[in-house]
Structure 1
Amino acid sequence: MKKIATFLASLLMLMGVFAPATATTVQASSTKNIKVTYTLKKNKKQIAKKTLTLKKGATVTTGLKKGWKVTDKKGFISEIDGHKQNNKKKIYWTYTVNKKQVNVSADKKKLKNKDHVEFKLSKYNG
C-alpha cells in the first residue's frame, strides 16, 4: 500500500511540475513570432504573395527583405525582385497595411500578428 501511495504522489508531483512548464514553454515561443501576409502588385496585377513568420516587433522592411530581394534607401523601397521604380515616369512603390495607407517609411512601421501588407508599383497621380 505504501508503494502505491508513493507512486501516486510521484505521479502527481510529475504532472504538477512538468505539465505547466511544457504549456508555458509552448505559449512563450508562440508569442515571440507573428505571421504577416505580403502581396506585391504591379499596377493592379498581383505578382507575388507570401505569408511570412517574423519576430514580434518586426518592421515592414524586415519581412519584405526576408521574402524578396529588395533595394531601399532610408526605409524607402525602390526595387523588389527586379521591379524598379521609374522616377521619370512617376512610377513608385507604395504600401498599405491592412488596406490603410501608411505615412512612415517601411523601416519604421512595426507589424502585428495577422497584418496584411500590400506593396503596389504604379503611377503616382498626385
Structure 2
Amino acid sequence: MKNKHKFSLLFTIVAFLTLFLTGCSNNSSSTAKKSSNNQITVNYTLKQGKKTVSDKSVKIPKKKAKVITGLKKAWKVQETKGFITSIDGKKQNPKKKIYWTYTINGKWATKGADKQAVANKDKVKFTLDKVK
C-alpha cells in the first residue's frame, strides 16, 4: 500500500510541475509577441542640404506613432507648435530662409510633426535647407 501512495504522490507532483512549467513558458512567449506587435519601426534620415548627416531606425509604440515621437527618441529636438526648429543642435535660420522640412516616403508632409502619423517601415527624411 505504501508503494501505491508514493507512486500516486510522485505522479501528482510531476503532473503539477509539467503543467506549471508549460503554462509559464506559454505566457512569456505570448507577452513577447504582444510587445512586438505594439511597436513599429520607422527610418529617420537627417540631411543638411544634399548631405546626409544621420540615419537611424527607431522603434516607437503604435499608440504614439507620430513623426515627432521617433524623432525625439533618437535626437535632441526643439519644436514650436509641432514644427521643428532644431535637431541635434542644428537650428533653422528664418533670416536666411533656412528651415527644417520633412517628407514621408518621398512625399511632402502636410501637417506638423506632432500631428503627422507614421506607420511601420515608413521613411521620414528631415532636411535643413533654404526654402524658396
Fold agreement, TM-score > 0.5: yes
How far did 1:105 drift? 0.3
Structure 1 unaligned blocks of 5 or more: none
Aligned length: 125
Q: What amino acid is aligned across from residue 86 of structure 1 in structure 2?
A: N
- CA 1:102–1:17 in 2, change beyond 3 Å: closer, same or farther? same
State the match for 1:77 in structure 2.
84
Q: CA deviation at 1:63?
A: 1.0
Q: How far apart in 2 are the matches of 1:57 and 1:95?
A: 22
2:34 matched residue in structure 1 = 28
Q: Which has the higher helix share?
A: 2
- Please identify runs of 4+ aligned residues in structure 1 that moved more than 2 A: 9-26
Relative to the length of structure 1, the TM-score reads 0.81
Kindly state the Cα deviation for residue 72 of structure 1 after the two structures are TM-superposed.
Answer: 0.4
Unaligned runs of 5+ in 2: 1-6
3-state SS of 1:106 partner: coil
Instruction: Indicate the SS of the match to 1:107.
Output: coil
Aligned to 1:49: 55
Seq. identity, %: 46
Distance between the aligned counterparts of 2:56 and 2:31, measured in 1? 28
1:100 Cα deviation after fit: 1.2
Scaled by the length of structure 2, what TM-score is found?
Answer: 0.78
1:88 corresponds to which of 88, 95, 114: 95
- Give secondary structure in 2 for the equivalent of 1:61: helix
- Secondary structure of the corresponding residue to residue 88 of structure 1: helix
Supply the distance in 2 between the matched residues of 1:24 and 1:82 (Cα, whole angstroms): 41
Structure 1 residue matching 2:43: 3-state secondary structure: strand
**Deviation at residue 6 of structure 1 after TM alignment:** 8.1
Task: Please give the per-residue CA displacement for 1:27-61, whole angstroms capped at 9, x wherever unaligned.
Answer: 21111111111100001100111111111133111
The RMSD of aligned alpha carbons is 2.3
Matches of 2:71 and 2:29, distance apart in 1:
32
Contact in 2 for aligned 1:76/1:106 (Cα 8 Å): yes
Structure 2 residue aligned with 1:120, among 104, 115, 127? 127
AA paired with 1:53? K
